[in-house]
Amino acid sequence: MGEIIVQRDDHNRILGLSGQGIGEDNLADAAALRFLRAAIATMTDYLHVTPNYSLDENVQLVIDRTDPHLNREIDAVMEALVTGLKALGVEYSEDFVVHEATVEIQV
């Protein structure tokens, strides 16, 4: 079963995603990878933000939020991504699940 964990800060902004068990062997996983690639391409090509990511055996996507002027745009891309992933989780509940977690930031 594919699993994605959405990591949010205490302001409910998405900081990143991590996942495991996601391959190309079922429709849910393949669609999830396409959604992730689309979000990464949008941030890279349109927003000129380079996320740190890995789309292999363990999925990892970390967002660079150092430019506060892009927060709304990054939020729009990431919330659309998570909405799509959650829809996959509902449609393919046997194969795919999305969890949310709040990350504490140490300063």
Residue percentage of the chain with pLDDT more than 70: 96
What pLDDT is recorded for position 106?
56
To the nearest 10°, report the CA torsion of 96, 62, 56, 34.
60
- Contacts with 40 (C-beta within 8 Å, 6 or more apart), sequence order: 51, 53, 61
What pLDDT is recorded for position 25?
83
Neighbouring-strand partners of residue 15: none
What pLDDT is recorded for position 103?
76
Compute the distance between CA of residue 103 and CA of residue 12 in angstroms, rounded to an integer: 10
Question: Can you list the domains of the chain with their CATH numbers?
Answer: 2-102 (3.30.70.1490)
Tell me if 37 sits within 8 A of 47, measured CB to CB: no
Q: Check residue 5 and report its DSSP letter.
A: E
**pLDDT tens readout for residues 64-98:** 888 889 999 999 999 999 999 999 999 999 999 99
